[in-house]
Amino acid sequence: MEHLGFFLIADITGYTTYLGESELEHARQTLTDLLELVVNQTRPPLTVAQLEGDAVLSYAFAEGFVTAQTFLERIEETYVEFRRAIDLMVLNNTCKCNACANVSALDLKFFVHYGSFAIQLVGDIRQLVGSDVNLVHRLLKNSVTVVTGIRAYLLLTEDAVNALGVDTSAEAMVAHGEAVPDFGEITVEVKDMQPVYEAAKRMGQTFYAPEDVLMTFVSEVPLPIEHVWNYANQSEIRNIITGSDSYEVMDRKNDRVGAGSTYQCYHGNMIVTQLVLEWLPFERVVLQQQAPIPGRRPTQSILDLRFAEIDEGTRLSLIVTKPTGPLVQRSLARLMMTARRSRTKADMDDFRDRIVEDFASKHEYQEPQQEFPYSLIGSAAFDSLNESQADLRE
């Protein structure tokens, strides 16, 4: 059976500097831990197909795929967690061998293509087959770093860019051409991942005191957290949570919604403004909401939407703080907010029911995630290191 969808290869690179002849066991442990991290970060809608030495191949069906922003955020989150793990290894290192001393030489690249494929079972292992699968593998050997100087990157083929609808200029992507045997000249777009990590390190957090909380609403959704996040940030679905008729986004950042963006929510003739204070993919969105109450100073409250993974799916929580501002205005705003308490809870449950129904209609065929035990990941790391050392000897 042929499918249409996306392929992603996450490839750990940098062995030339990293490897030492006598520290294979230390190198194997490090690579195994990093491969396990990449496997664990490969989340829905992606499914891990197989381990390929120092790389992880995953795929997703086109039907019911997430938005471009959600997909890119998942890749960026994987990269940030990988770099944090590297930094932690460097910080905690007490071993003086080359393998441990040079762990910072390792990095991560991503290759994404869109096309057709079939799935073959070889024992308990799924193998993806097809010319598009071959193409994304051929792209692993390329001239990107030589031509652009970018060491860690996300590479999207032209087919992937078109299927996702990515604005490559807004994403600061660099166009690149690669001559691929049997495929000819392939146009790709390349994004430097280093600025993504630097931005993550600068990200701040929003705090408020427990006594400032006015009310909290919770709804448990039997879907993976990535899909709940994706639905919560789609216009026609987000209206359900906010109880608004419609909304528009102002001040997008690089064509994405993020910290600094503003929502204009329309409730009949009333407009409610929400400023995004914090945008932490798959975890938290913090909004500063301005009440539509006239006054010399604005009346504001915090809306904290949190996503937490649970055994049954995702716990979605909405925390609303007490309004601030002049006494009369904030008292009026508080009355308005508490009067909507039951309506807000109903909106949360309606959101849950709506997305569960929509998800079921779009995911009739979905492969379950494969289990990759630590021992299997370790074997893949060992094979990869042996091959890399053999290359160094030549």
The one-digit pLDDT tens for each residue of the chain (394 residues) are 789 999 999 999 887 666 654 466 667 788 888 999 999 999 988 999 988 888 999 999 998 899 999 999 999 999 999 999 999 888 877 666 666 677 888 999 999 999 999 998 777 677 899 999 999 999 999 999 999 999 999 999 999 999 999 999 999 999 999 999 999 999 999 999 999 999 998 888 899 999 999 999 999 999 999 999 999 988 778 888 888 888 888 888 888 999 999 998 888 888 889 999 999 999 999 999 998 887 778 899 999 999 999 998 999 999 999 999 999 988 998 998 899 899 999 999 999 999 999 998 886 555 666 777 777 777 776 667 666 655 555 5
Q: What gap in Å lies between CA 65 and CA 114, rounded to an integer?
A: 12
In this prediction, residue 16 carries a pLDDT of 63
Query: In one letter, which amino acid is 49?
Result: A
Helix (H) or strand (E) holding 166: none
Q: What gap in Å lies between CA 340 and CA 342, rounded to an integer?
A: 6
Residues 290 and 270: beta-carbon distance below 8 Å: no
Pick from 100, 6, 96, 118: nearest CA to 60:
6
Residues 114 and 157: beta-carbon distance below 8 Å: yes
| Strand-pair category, 213-221 with 313-321 | antiparallel
Helix (H) or strand (E) holding 286: strand 284-290
By the 10 Å C-beta count (0-12 exposed, 13-18 middle, 19+ buried), 31 is classed as buried
**What does the DSSP assignment read for 192-246?**
ESHHHHHHHHH-------GGGEEEEEEEEESS-HHHHHHHHTSHHHHHHHHT-SE
Query: In one letter, which amino acid is 385?
Result: L
Q: What gap in Å lies between CA 380 and CA 251, rounded to an integer?
A: 45
Q: ∠ CA(224), CA(220), CA(336), 5° rounding? A: 125
Q: What gap in Å lies between CA 370 and CA 211, rounded to an integer?
A: 44
Take residue 211 and report the two structure tokens written for it: 């006594």
Domains and CATH numbers, the chain: 2-200+369-393 (3.30.70.1230), 206-362 (3.30.530.20)
Pick from 337, 267, 327: nearest CA to 301:
337
CA dihedral 226, 231, 233, 238 (to 10 degrees): -150
Give the sign of the dihedral formed by CA 81, CA 82, CA 86, CA 89: positive
Pick from 138, 84, 103, 81: nearest CA to 30:
103
Q: What gap in Å lies between CA 376 and CA 227, rounded to an integer?
A: 28
CA dihedral 148, 152, 158, 159 (to 10 degrees): 170
Pick left, alpha or beta for residue 268 (phi over 0 → left; psi -120 to 50 → alpha; otherwise beta): left
Number of H helices, E strands in the chain: 13, 15
Residues 292 and 272: beta-carbon distance below 8 Å: yes
pTM summary value: 0.90
Q: Could you count the other beta carbons within 10 Å of the beta carbon of residue 160?
A: 23
Q: Could you count the other beta carbons within 10 Å of the beta carbon of residue 289?
A: 23
Local structure of residue 105 (DSSP, 8 states): G
CB within 8 Å of 210: residues ≥ 6 apart: none
- Give the three-class secondary structure for 86: helix
